[in-house]
Amino acid sequence: MRINLLLLLFLALFCSCKEEITLTTRSNEIQMVVDGMITDEPGPYAVTLSVTSPLGQPEHIPLTGCTVTITDDAGYTEILAEHKDGQYLTHSEGIRGQPGREYQLSIQTPGGRHYETPFQKMSPPVKIDSLYSEVQYTERTDQPGSLPGLQFFTDSEKASAQENYFLWRITETFQYELDYKLYAIYYDGEILINNRDTISGYDSLYTCWKTHDAGTFFTGSTSSLKEAKIVKQPLHYVGTDTKRLSSRYSFHLHQYCIDRETYYYWKNLQEQITGDNFLLAKQPYNPTGNVRNTSDPQETVLGTFTVASVTTKRIFRSRPALPFYLDSCMVGTDLESMFKTMGPAFLVIGPQGMGKVHKDCIDCRSKGGVPRKPSFWTDY
Amino acid sequence: MLSAIAASGQPLQKDVRIPPQQSNWTDFTSTLEKENNIRFFYDPSLLPGTPVVVAPDSMLLMEVLRNYFSASGIQVSSDGSGNYFLYRDFKLQTLPGIFFSGSVSSHSPGEKTVTSPSKGATVEKYLSTTRTLTTEAVDIGKKGSSHSNRVILRGKVTAAEEGGSVPLATIKIEELNRYVTSDQSGRYEIALEPRNYTLTVNSLGYFEKSFRINLYSDGDLNITLDTKSILLDEAGISAIRNHNVQSTQMGLDNLTVAAIKKLPVMLGEQDVVKAALMLPGVQSIGEISSGFNVRGSPADQNIFYINGVPVYNATHLFGLFTTFNPDAINGFDLYKSNIPVEYGGRLSSIFNIDAKNGNLKNFSARGGISPVSGRVMVEGPLVKEKASYLASVRTTYSDWLLKQVDNHDISHSTASFYDALMNLYYRINSHSNLSLFLYGSEDLSDIAFGFGNRYANLGGSVRWSYDFNRNLGLNLDLVKSRYAYEEENHEVAYLANRHSFSLNHTEMKLGFRYNLNDRSSLRLGMSSELYGLDHGDLRPMNDESRISPLHFQSEKAMVNSLYAGTLLSLSERLSFEGGVRGAWYSLLGPGTIYDYLEHHPRESTNITDSTHYGKNEVISRHRHLDLRLAARFSLLPSLSVKASYNRLHQYLFMLSNTISVSPTNKWKLSDPHLPPMAGEQFSVGLYQNLMQNKLELSIETYYKKVKNLVEYKDGADFLSSRYPETNILQGDLKAYGTEFSIKKKGGKLNGWINYTWSRAEVKALDKNSGEANNRGMAYPANYDRPHAVNTVFNYNLSKRLSLSANAVYSTGRPVTFPTSIYYQNGIQITAFSNRNAYRLPDYFRTDLSVNLEGNLKKNKLAHGSWSFSFYNLTSRKNPYTVIFRNEEGKIKGYEVSILGTIIPSINYNLKFGNYEN
C-alpha cells in the first residue's frame, strides 16, 4: 500500500507517467515447478509438477512421467499416481497427514534427475476464532473517486505455542443474478414468449453460483506478538465493481499452520507478486522453496511442498447497502432491423421497454457459474 | 600584449570633444595623441575592426569610446589625466612593478603595514603609479639581519570583503618566473634569496594584484584581495590555473557555489549533489535516489562532511533535494580517487562541503524563494575584523503542493523539511583562530495511509588553528554528529509499529602541517572516532497494536588512527605524494555474539552458542594500514601524467535492500561475523591545459576492487530478526572505467563536457555456507551505467543576463525482468531473470536556465536576481523504473517515469547591498 501511494504521489505531483511496455525476454530458461501440499485433512493429496512457460504464452506445462513419493518419519512411503498430466495424487485410502509427524517429498524425473525436500514437521493446527468484514473504501484504479466494498478479517484462537506461522487461502462462492429475465425469443419471423410458448427453462439460467479460489493468499505470524493470537488480520477485499457482493456471498477461509521456512517462502512470494516494485520495493528475485536437486543444489526449483495442518471457516454476506458500480447488459432497442434477420434474438424488458440483448445476458453460465445451489449454501 | 602609444609632450586636456567624423582606429587615435596629449592603453586584439563613428553633434571622447566598444564588452576607463584604458574582464596584464593596488600588510620580524586604501583610492593609486612607473615597495625583515642566502617569505591570502581565506591563489615572483600557491587555508610560503621582487597575486574571482617587496630576512606578508565586482568568471571550476596539471591530486572535482547556482535546477532548488552528478564518474539510480555512486561504489562508501561534520543522510523529501542551503556554502570538493590521508573510513569518496565564514566587516543578509522552499541567511561581524557570525535557515512549504492533489490520501499526507546552520568565527590573533559550526536538518513525512517517518541530522564542530611558526601549524577539531530516524508502519492495525534508530559519531582530530621547504611538506595527525549505534526497539504504535516490543542490540565502536603524509617535489617535473594511515578498530560491549553451525546458513535456527561481553569489553578488533600513493610527472609544462594507488578500509556500512536509497536504511558496524570492507583503487591519468590554461583536458582510468561488500540476502527483513547477521551476505565489488573531460574556464562561454565509460559488478556468495544472491553469479550493480555523457554550458550574454544549459545522457540502469510464468496453487506467478540482466531505456535530459540579475547600481540597499529554470526541456519520459502487474492473467510491464515532463520553475533571490557584495 505504501508503495502505491508514493507512486501515486509522484504521478500526481509531477505528471509522471506510466506507460505500458512490451515485455520481451532474451532467454527462456525452463525451470522446474513443484506445487504440492499434505495436510491433516483426508486425502488424496496432490503434487503438481510443471515447468515454466514463456511470458507471452502463459500456460500450465505439465511434467509427466515422474516418480513422486511421499515418505513419513515412521518409514511409510507412498508412490503417487499420475492422475492426469503432471498431477500426482495419493490414494484416498493412503497416507494421512498428522500434526507432529514429518513428511518428505521426493521426485525422480524420467531424465534421471532426483529432487527431494527435507523432512518437514506438520505444525499443530490453530483454530479460527472469527471471520468478519467491514466496509472500506479504496481508490478506484480506472477513474477518480472511491470504491466501497467489504474488507474481510480473521482472528485466530490463542495458540498454545508462541511461534505460529499461517498461510491463509480463500475460496469464494457467490450467487449472482442476471440483469434481465428473458421475455421472449425472436426466431425465424416469430416471437416466442418465455413461459407461454414452447420455450422454457431459461428462468433456471437466471441465478448461478460461482466458486473459485480468490486468486490470492495471505501470510502471518504470531512470533512478534505479545500473545499467540492473530487479531484482525486483513484478508481479501471485495469491491462493489463486480457482481460478487450483489446477491449473496460466501467467504471460505482455509487457515494453514506451517513451519517457519515455509512461511518465509510464501511471504516472500507474496511480496514479489503484490509489490509494485517501486521506490521502497525490494529487488525482485525468485523465492525458492524446499525442493532441491540432490546432485545440483544451485539449480533453481520453483514452488514448494507445503506440510500444513488446516482449519476452515465459512461466513456468508448478503448484499450490503452500498452503491454498486456494475456494467450491465446493453439492451438494443432497434427492433426493426432485428426483424430483417432470421434471429435468434433474445428480448428482455429493459428500462426503455422491450429490447434485444446478447445471449450471454440471459444465461448466467456465461459468467462461469453453475445454476445449481451448492450444498453448503444457506439463504439466511 | 599591451601596447601603449607613446605620449607626446603637450599639455593635458581633461574633456576632449570630438567633432563628427568617421575614421579608422589608427587614424582616430594618432590624431588625438598628437593634438591632445592622450594615451591609450589596450590590447590590439580587442579592437572591433570597424570604423569609429562620431554622430552629427560633437561628443566627449569617453562617450565615443564607450559607444564604440560597448558591443564587444570592452571596458573603458580614464584617469582624468589623459590616459584611457581599454580592457576586458579586468585582466590587464601588468608590467612588473608598474602598479600597486590594494593593501599589503606585513608584520614580524620586520613589521610593516601598508594601510588598505579605499576602493576609490585604489583607482587613483593605480593610475598615478602608472604614470610615475614607480611604486612604494614593502620592506620585509630587517635590513642586514639575515646573512643566509635563503630567507622565508610566508603569509596568508584573504578576501577583503568576506575576510575569509583565499585558497589556491597563485603568487608569481615575476623576476624568477616562479609560482607559489596558497593552500586550503590561504597560506603560502616560499624560500627566496633576499633581494627585491615584484609579486603578482591571482585568484579566480578576485582582482589581480601586484606589488614590490624588499625582502631582507624571514618575514610575513599577508595579502588581501578584492572580490571581483563582475562575476564573469565565477561559473568556472574553482581550481587555480594549471592546478589540474601541476598537482599530484587525481580524481578531485570541485565546484563553487557560484557555478552551482547557475546550473538549471528542478523546482527551483539549487542542489550540490545534483550538481555533482554532472561530474565524471558520479552516477545515481534516478531522480529520487538520495545517494549517489562514485566510480562504481554503493552510496554508503561516500561521506558528506560540512565543515568537518559528517552528515549521514543528506536528503530531503525522498531524495528530491539535498540538505545544504547553497547560500551558506562556498562550494565543495569531491575526492574520488586518491582520498587525502587525513580522511579514513570510506572507500569511495569524500564529499567535502565548505560553509562560509561570516563577513568580518559588514552586516549582510540574503534570501530566496522557490516553489518548494524559502531561505534566509544573515552574516556580519560580532567584533569588527575579529569575530563574525553566519546563520542560515531553509524551510519548505511543500505541504501546499500536496493539498492541491485531488486524492484523499495525498492531500491528507504531509511532508516537510528544514535545514539550518550557524558558523561563528573568531580570529584570536594573526596566527590562531577558532570557529564553531552547527548544522541541523530534519524531514517529516506521513503518507496518510500506513507509513510515516522522520529523520534528522544534528551536528557541530569546533576548530582551532594555530601556527607555531612559519613552518609548523596545527588544526584541532572536535566533532559531534547525530543521525536519527523514526519510522512508523500502521498498514495492518495489529502489527502497527514504531521503530527508532540513532547513530552518534564523535570525533577528535589533531593534524600538523610541517613545511620541509617551499616545495615539500609533511602532514601528521591522529584521530579518534567513537560510534554509537542505537538500533532501537520495535514498539507497538498504539493500543490496537498487538506486537511485543523487540529490542535490537546496540553497537559501539572506537576507531583510532594515526596518519602521516608527505608531498615531495623531487624535481620540477616529478612530484610524489604518499601517505599511510594506521587504524585500530574495536567493537566494544556490551553485546552478545552468537555462534552458528559451521557450513550452514546463518539463521537463528542454526545458533549453537552465544558469548556475552560486558560494557566496553572488546568484542572484535581490527588493525589496518591504509596506503595513499600518487605521483605526477610533467611531460611538458602543460602536460602531465599521474598515477595513484589507494588502499582503504571501512568499518561502518549501510544496509539497503531497496533499489533507491530509503531514509530508513540501516547502518551497521563491522562485527565478528562481518569483517570490514576493504577497497583498493588504481588510477592513471593524463592532463593537458591548452589556450593559456583556459581549456583543460584530462583522461583518467581506474580499477577498483572491494572485498566484504555488504548486501542483504534476498528477501531479508531487518525488523523481523534480532540477529542482523542472518540477513546479510558479504561479497565482492569490481569496478573499472575511464573518464574523459574537457573544461573551458572563463570567458563569455564556459562549461564542460565529460564522457565516462564504466562498469560495476557485484558478486554475493558465502563460500562457507553456500548462501548466495543471484545463485552466486556476478551481476551488474543497480547504478551500473556503462556510458555517460554530461555537458554543461554557461553563456554570459551580459553582466546581468546569463544562460545555462546542460544535457545528460547515460545508459539505462540495469533491472530484473520477468522472464517466465508458473503456477502455484493455481495462482499465476512471475519468474524473474537473473538479477539486473536487463536494462531500462537510455536516459537523456536537457535543462535550461536563465539567470537575470537586478540593476548594477553601486549604491543601493538590496539586489535581487531571478532564475528561471526549465528542467527536462524535451519532456522526455525517462523511465525511473519498471513495474510488473498481473492484469487478468497477463503479466504487463509499465515504465514509470518521474519528472517525465518539462518542469519550469522560478527562484527569486534577494540580498543586501549591490550586485558585487
Domain of B192: which CATH number? 2.60.40.1120
Q: How would residue B894 be classed by pLDDT, with cut points 50, 70 and 90?
A: confident
B340-378 per-position pLDDT tens digit: 999 999 999 999 998 988 988 888 899 988 888 889 999
Pairing assessment for the beta strands B827-832 and B838-839 based on DSSP bridges = unpaired
Question: What residues of chain A lie within 8 A of the CB of B832, using their CB?
Answer: 272, 284-286
Q: Are strands A53-54 and B818-824 parallel, antiparallel or unpaired?
A: antiparallel
Locate B529 and state its grid cell.
572516532
B644 has a pLDDT exceeding 60: yes
Q: Is the pLDDT of residue B138 over 50?
A: yes
Q: How far apart are CA B541 and CA B546, in angstroms?
A: 9
User: Does the beta-carbon distance from B494 to A231 stay under 8 Å?
Assistant: yes
- All residues at 6 or more sequence positions from B334 whose CB lies less than 8 Å from its CB, including other chains: B252, B253, B254, B276, B279, B282, B294, B349, B350, B351, B352
Query: What's the DSSP call for residue A85?
Result: T
B143's CB contacts (< 8 A; 6+ apart) are: B216
Instruction: Give A18 to chain B, closest Cα distance, Å.
Output: 5
Is residue A95 a part of any domain in this protein?
yes
Reading phi first (left if > 0) and then psi (alpha if -120 to 50, else beta), residue B251 is in: left
Closest A-chain CA to B903:
A14
- Residue B164 phi/psi, 5-degree rounding, is -80, 165
Query: Which of A2-11, A33-42, B162-171, B443-452 is predicted with the least confidence, judged by mean pLDDT?
Result: A2-11
pLDDT at B3 over 60: no
Closest by alpha carbon to B427, among B478, B467, B392, B379? B467
Q: With contacts defined as CB-CB under 8 Å, which chain A residues touch B547?
A: 224-226
d(CA B300, CA B712): 14
Residues 6+ apart with CB under 8 A from B453: B443, B445, B485, B486, B487, B488, B663, B664
Instruction: Tell me which residue of B728, B673, B654 sits closest to B303, measured CA to CA.
Output: B654
Model ipTM? 0.87
Q: What is the pLDDT of residues A221-232, one digit of tens each?
A: 998 899 999 999
Q: What does the pLDDT average to over A155-173?
A: 94
Number of separate domains in chain A = 1
Nearest to A55 among B658, B818, B895 (CB): B818
User: What's the gap between Cα B515 and its chain centre?
Assistant: 27
Residue A68: strand pairing partners: A80, A107
Q: What is the CATH number of the domain that holds A113?
A: 2.60.40
Domain span at residue A291? Answer: 2-16+30-121+278-305
Angle (CA) B269 B273 B279, round 5°: 120
Q: What digits encode the pLDDT tens for the residues B456-500?
A: 999 999 999 998 887 899 999 999 999 999 888 888 889 999 999
Phi, psi (deg, nearest 5) at residue B744: -115, 125
Measure Cα distances from B788 to A66, B231, B279, B295, B840 in Å. 52, 30, 10, 12, 14
Which of A268, A279, A306 is the best substitution to test chain B (most B C-beta atoms within 10 A)?
Answer: A279
Mark whether B347 and B391 lie in a shared domain.
yes
Q: Is the pLDDT of residue B155 over 80?
A: yes
Q: What is the pLDDT of residue B527?
A: 96
| Confidence band for B237, pLDDT divided at 50, 70 and 90 | very low
Cα separation of B256 and B893, whole Å?
Answer: 43
Asked whether residue A14 carries a pLDDT value surpassing 90, the answer given is no
Domain hosting residue B600, numbered range: 252-912
B96 is a domain residue: no
> A146, B903: Cβ pair inside 8 Å?
no
Q: Is the pLDDT of residue B792 over 60?
A: yes
Residue A379 lies in a domain: no
pLDDT in tens, B12-47: 445 677 777 777 777 887 777 777 777 777 766 667
Cβ neighbours of residue B337 closer than 8 Å, sequence gap 6 or more: B250, B251, B252, B295, B644, B646, B681, B683, B700, B702
Chain A and chain B share a number of CB contacts under 8 A equal to 238
Which residue of A55, A121, A166 to mutate against B (max B Cβ within 10 Å)?
Answer: A55
Q: Alpha-carbon distance B377 to B387, whole Å?
A: 17
Same domain (yes/no): B683, B649:
yes
Cell of residue B915, nine digits = 550586485
Chain B, 829-858: which have a CB under 8 Å from a chain A CB? Answer: 829-833, 835
Do the beta carbons of residue B667 and residue B652 sit within 8 Å?
yes
At B232, list the grid cell: 564573469
Q: Does B894 touch chain A (CB under 8 A)?
A: yes
From A34's Cα to the closest Cα of chain B, the distance in A is: 8
* Contact (CB<8Å) A269/B407: no
Closest Cβ opposite residue B821 in set A6, A53, A169: A53
Min distance B449 CA to chain A CA atoms (Å): 7
Cα three-residue angle B100-B105-B110, rounded to 5 degrees: 115
Chain B residues in contact with A272 (beta carbon < 8 A)? 829-830, 832
- pLDDT band at residue A32 under the 50/70/90 scheme: very high
Check residue B597 and give left, alpha or beta (phi > 0: left; psi -120 to 50: alpha).
beta
Question: Which of B833, B842, B827, B917 lies closest to B877 in space, CA to CA?
Answer: B842
What are the CA-CA distances from residue B533 to residues A121, A314, B302, B558 (Å)? 39, 49, 19, 12
Domain annotation covers residue A82: yes
C-beta atoms of B822 and A303 within 8 A: yes
Q: Is residue B503 domain-shared with residue B588, that is, in the same domain?
A: yes
ω into A44 cis (within 30 of 0) = yes
Q: Looking at the domain assignment, is residue B31 inside a domain?
A: yes
Q: Do B823 and A33 touch (CB under 8 A)?
A: yes
Count of C-beta atoms within a 10 Å radius of residue A328: 12
| Same domain membership, residue B436 and residue B340 | yes
Examine the pLDDT at B2 and tell me if it is beyond 50.
no
> B27 Cβ partners below 8 Å, 6+ apart?
none
Flag whether B397 is in a domain.
yes
DSSP secondary structure, B325-368, as one string: -GGGEEEEEEE-SS--TT--S-SSEEEEEEEPPPPSSS-EEEEE
From the list A15, A20, A225, the residue facing B893 with the nearest CB is: A20
- Per the domain annotation, does B592 fall within a domain? yes
Inside any domain, residue B720: yes
* CB contact (8 A) between residue B825 and residue A217: yes
A181 located within any domain: no
| Residues of B whose CB is below 8 A from A8 | 407, 409-410
**Is the CB of residue B45 less than 8 Å away from at least one CB of chain A?**
no
Please give the Cα distance from B878 to B808 (Å, whole number).
11
DSSP B287: T
Nearest to B549 by CA among B605, B593, B496: B496
Q: Are residues B201 and B170 in the same domain?
A: yes
Quick check: A225 and B548 CB within 8 A? Answer: yes
- Chain A nearest-CA residue for B605: A260
**Does B350 reside within a domain?**
yes
The tens digit of pLDDT for each residue in B715-759 reads: 777 777 788 898 889 999 999 999 999 998 777 888 999 999 999
Residue A63 falls within a domain, yes or no? yes
Looking at the structure of chain B, the number of domains it has is 3
Specify if B93 maps to a domain. no
* Residue from the list B819, B824, B894 with its beta carbon closest to the beta carbon of A55: B819
Angle at B501 between CA B500 and CA B505, to 5 degrees: 150
| HSE of A74, CA atoms in CB hemisphere, 13 A | 8
Using alpha carbons, list the distances in angstroms from residue B687 to B169, B246, B281, B338. Answer: 20, 9, 16, 16
Per-residue model confidence (pLDDT) at position B370:
84
Average pLDDT, chain B: 81
Same domain, B675 and B746: yes
Q: Give the closest residue to B783 by CA, choosing from B286, B40, B173.
A: B286
**Identity of the residue in A6, A227, A287 whose CB atom sits nearest the CB atom of B715:** A287
Asked if residues B201 and B187 have their Cβ atoms less than 8 Å apart, the reply is no
Would the CB atoms of B825 and A23 count as touching at under 8 Å? no
Q: Are B41 and B65 in contact (CB under 8 A)?
A: no
Name the residue with higher pLDDT: B664 or B570: B570
Same domain, B887 and B799: yes
Nearest-neighbour CA in chain A from B880: distance (Å): 9
- pLDDT beyond 90 at B251: no
CA distance B849 to B870: 6
pLDDT of residue B406: 59
Residues in B touching A50 (Cβ below 8 Å): 822-823
The number of C-alpha atoms within 13 Å of A376 and in the hemisphere containing its C-beta is 16
- Is residue B113 located within the same domain as residue B82? no
Contact B257, B331 (CB under 8 A): yes
Q: Residue A90 and residue A75: Cα distance in Å, rounded?
A: 16
The CATH number given to whatever domain includes residue B507 is 2.40.170.20
DSSP string, B60-106: EHHHHHHHHHHTTT-EEEE-SSSEEEEESTT-PPPPTTT---S-EEE
**End-to-end alpha carbon distance in chain A:** 35
Query: Among A12, A16, A55, whose Cβ lies nearest the Cβ of B405?
Result: A12
pLDDT (average), residues B679-707:
91
User: CB atoms < 10 A from the CB of B743, how many?
Assistant: 20
Query: Distance (Å) from the C-alpha of residue A350 to the closest C-alpha of chain B?
Result: 30
User: Which of B603, B825, B886 to mutate to test binding with chain A, by most A CBs within 10 Å of its CB?
Assistant: B825
- Neighbouring C-beta atoms of residue A42, cutoff 10 Å: 10
Give B551→chain A minimum CA distance, Å: 11
Question: Residues of B with CB below 8 A from A292's CB?
Answer: none
Q: How far is B785 from chain A (nearest CA, A)?
A: 18
Q: Please tell me which of the candidates B407, B408, B819 has its beta carbon nearest to residue A29.
A: B819
**Of A293-297, B266-270, B702-706, minimum mean pLDDT range:** B266-270
Residue B139 has pLDDT above 70, yes or no: yes
